[in-house]
Chain A
C-alpha cells in the first residue's frame, strides 16, 4: 500500500461555542474508497468540512500529500485536487446541468473522452444536459454532484452521505459508479448505510463523539458482527 494521501493529526474543530471534533487523527491511504462511519452528530460532516477549510480547525494539523492545508483558504485546497460533494449535494438549481459541470472544470472546457465516460456512468447527465438542475430528481442531483466532482481527474474526493434518501435501485447503480471512479482517485466517503459502505470500502474508520474510535480494514469489520454491534450500535442497524 502506498503512503497516506491525507493525514489528520489531533484535529479539534469548534462550531460556534460547541466543541465538535475532539482530536481526530486519521490517515487516508492513497487509492480506493475509505469510509468514515458513525452515528448522527458524531462529527463526520464536520471532519470533511474541516478538511475542505469550510470550518477551521482550532488545533491540530491537516496534511494533503506534502501540503499543510490546515489554514489554507477553501479555493486553494480545491485547486490542489480535492473535490467535495456535500450532504446537500451543492447543486446550483438555477443553472443548467451543463453549467453545473462547466463550473467544475478549471478551464471551463470539457475533455470529450472523459465526458463520454461520465455519460456512460450517469446517463441522466447526458439526457438532461440542457435542463435546469432544479428540475432533477434527488438521485439525478446526486449523480450530477458526483459527476461534477470527476469532470477533471482529482486526487481525492470527499463525499458526504451520497445514499441518503435514495431508492435502492439508484444506490446499486451508484456502487458501480464509485468502483469505477475509485480506480483513478482516492475517495473518502462518509456513510451511515453500512451495506453500501461495506460493498465499497477498503479501509474504515469509525467516529464517535468527535473522536476516532476504530480504524482498520473494512473486510475485518464486515466479518466481525460483535465488533459492528459494539462500534456502530443500533443507529446503523436502522439504516440497513
Chain B
C-alpha cells in the first residue's frame, strides 16, 4: 500500500483520494464541489490554529492545553471589533468592508502575540521539561481564560457581523460557494506560503527546523533555543487567535465554548499530521476539514465520530502521524 501511495504522490495524495471517494459516494457534482470548498475552508482555518501548537510542541516539547484560549479570545475580540465597526461593514464600499475585516483580524492576531508572550513567560517557562506540570498548569490557565471570557462577554451567544462583500455565495453554473469560504481558503494559503518561506528561506527558520529535530545540538552550536521559542510561541498564539477570528466570521454565532470544541479537532489534526511539522498540520487539517463535511452530508450521525476514526486509522498505519518532523 505504501509503494502504491508513493507512486501517486505519497501522503499528500490522501486528500485527493478522499475527495475522489466522496465524489463517487455523493453522486452530485454541485453538492460535491460545495462540500469540498467548505471542507477546504474549514481545513485552512483549523490549520491556522493547529500549526502553532504543533511547532510549540516540536521545538520545546511543551504540551499547551491552553492553546484554545487564544482561539476563543481571537474570536471574541474580532467579533467586538466587527461590532464596533458595524457602519464600515454595512457600507457599499468594498474597501471599507475589507478595512473593517482586516482591523478585526489584526486586533485578534496582535492580542494573540502579546498574550502569547505573557503566557509563555508566566505559565510555561517555569515548567519546561515537565509534561505533567505543563498539562496541569496550562489546563488551569485555560479554565481561568474561559471564566474571563464569560466575565467580559457573558454567556449568551454573540452574533458576528460579516462584511457585506463576503455575504452570500458565488454561483458558477449550478454550484454555489459561500464567498466567506473562498476568503478563508485564500487567507489560509497566504499564511501557509508565508510560514513555508519563513521556515525554509530564512536563518531563523533554519534554526527552528533544526531545533525541532535536536534542541540540544542547536544549543551546542551556540544558539539560545529559549529565545527562539518565545518567538515561536508568540507566532503560534497569534495564528491561533487569527484562526479564531476567521472562525467567528464563519460561524456567525459564537459562544465561550468555541475554543474547547475546536481544540479536540485541533489536537486530532496535530496528531494526524505529526508533531512539529507544518506540512503535516496542513495535511491533517485539510483531511479533517474534508472528512467532517463529507461525512456530515453522507452519514450525519457519524459526523462527530468520523475524525476520531480518521485519527485512529492514521495512527494504526503511521504511529507518528503522516508527516512527522524528523527527531534527532
Q: How near does chain B come to A174, taking the closest CB pair, in angstroms?
A: 20
How many contacting A-B pairs (Cβ < 8 A)?
65
User: Which A residues between 32 and 54 are near B, CB-CB below 8 angstroms?
Assistant: 52, 54
Contacts of B207 in A (CB 8 A): 103
B224 within 8 A of partner (CB) = yes
Q: How far is the CA of A90 from the CA of B220 in the complex (A)?
A: 10
User: Which A residues between 61 and 97 are near B, CB-CB below 8 angstroms?
Assistant: 73-76, 78-79, 83-84, 86, 88, 90-95
Q: How far is the CA of A116 from the CA of B219 in the complex (A)?
A: 26
User: Which A residues between 82 and 119 are near B, CB-CB below 8 angstroms?
Assistant: 83-84, 86, 88, 90-95, 99, 102-104, 106, 108
- Across chains A and B, which 10 residue pairs bring their CB atoms closest together, nearest first? A78-B222, A90-B217, A94-B326, A74-B219, A84-B220, A93-B326, A79-B222, A92-B210, A92-B213, A75-B224
| A54:B206 contact, CB within 8 angstroms | no
| B328:A103 contact, CB within 8 angstroms | no
| B220:A74 contact, CB within 8 angstroms | yes
Known: A75-B224, A108-B203. A92 touches B219 (CB 8 A): no
Q: How near does chain B come to A113, taking the closest CB pair, in angstroms?
A: 22
A235 within 8 A of partner (CB) = no
| A54:B216 contact, CB within 8 angstroms | yes
Residue of B nearest to A132 (CB): B326
Residue of B nearest to A52 (CB): B220
Contacts of A78 in B (CB 8 A): 219-222
Q: How far is the CA of A78 from the CA of B209 in the complex (A)?
A: 20
Q: How far is the CA of A75 from the CA of B219 in the complex (A)?
A: 5
Q: How far is the CA of A83 from the CA of B219 in the complex (A)?
A: 11
Known: A90-B214, A92-B210. A103 touches B326 (CB 8 A): no
Interface residue tally for chain A (C-beta within 8 Å): 26
| Residue in B209, B217, B224 whose Cβ sees the most chain A Cβ within 10 Å | B217
7 residue pairs from A and B, CB less than 8 Å apart: A54-B216, A75-B224, A78-B220, A92-B214, A93-B328, A94-B325, A103-B210
Known pairs A75-B219, A92-B214 / 6 extra A-B pairs, C-beta < 8 Å: A86-B217, A90-B217, A94-B213, A94-B325, A99-B210, A106-B222
Contacts of B141 in A (CB 8 A): none
Would you call the interface of chain B mostly helix, strand, loop, or mixed?
helix
Q: Mark B285-328, 1 if CB is under 8 A from A, else 0.
A: 00000000000000000000000000000000000000001101
Q: How near does chain B come to A152, taking the closest CB pair, in angstroms?
A: 10
User: Which B residues between 165 and 223 are near A, CB-CB below 8 angstroms?
Assistant: 203, 206-207, 209-210, 213-214, 216-223
| B217:A75 contact, CB within 8 angstroms | no
Q: Identify the B interface with A (CB < 8 A).
A: 203, 206-207, 209-210, 213-214, 216-225, 325-326, 328
| B209:A95 contact, CB within 8 angstroms | yes
| A73:B224 contact, CB within 8 angstroms | yes
Contact partner of A99 (CB less than 8 A), chosen from B206, B217, B218, B326, is: B206
| A92:B220 contact, CB within 8 angstroms | no
A134 within 8 A of partner (CB) = yes
| B206:A90 contact, CB within 8 angstroms | no
Q: Identify the A interface with B (CB < 8 A).
A: 52, 54, 73-76, 78-79, 83-84, 86, 88, 90-95, 99, 102-104, 106, 108, 134, 148
Q: How far is the CA of A121 from the CA of B310 in the complex (A)?
A: 50
Q: How near does chain A come to B287, taking the closest CB pair, in angstroms?
A: 22
Q: How far is the CA of A16 from the CA of B222 in the complex (A)?
A: 25
Q: How near does chain B come to A4, taking the closest CB pair, in angstroms?
A: 22
Contacts of A88 in B (CB 8 A): 328
Residue of B nearest to A104 (CB): B221
| Residue in A52, A74, A79, A104 whose Cβ sees the most chain B Cβ within 10 Å | A74
Q: How far is the CA of A65 from the CA of B216 in the complex (A)?
A: 24
Contacts of B219 in A (CB 8 A): 54, 73-75, 78
Q: How far is the CA of A144 from the CA of B326 in the complex (A)?
A: 18
Q: How near does chain B come to A54, taking the closest CB pair, in angstroms?
A: 6
Q: How near does chain A come to B171, taking the closest CB pair, in angstroms?
A: 45
Q: How far is the CA of A102 from the CA of B222 in the complex (A)?
A: 13
| B223:A75 contact, CB within 8 angstroms | yes
Q: How near does chain A come to B58, taking the closest CB pair, in angstroms?
A: 11
Q: How near does chain A come to B206, taking the closest CB pair, in angstroms?
A: 6
Q: How near does chain B come to A84, taking the closest CB pair, in angstroms?
A: 5
| A102:B220 contact, CB within 8 angstroms | no
| B328:A90 contact, CB within 8 angstroms | yes
Q: How near does chain A come to B24, taking the closest CB pair, in angstroms?
A: 36
Residue of A nearest to B212 (CB): A94
Contacts of B325 in A (CB 8 A): 94
Residue of B nearest to A85 (CB): B220
Known: A86-B217, A108-B203. A94 touches B222 (CB 8 A): no
Contacts of B217 in A (CB 8 A): 86, 90, 92
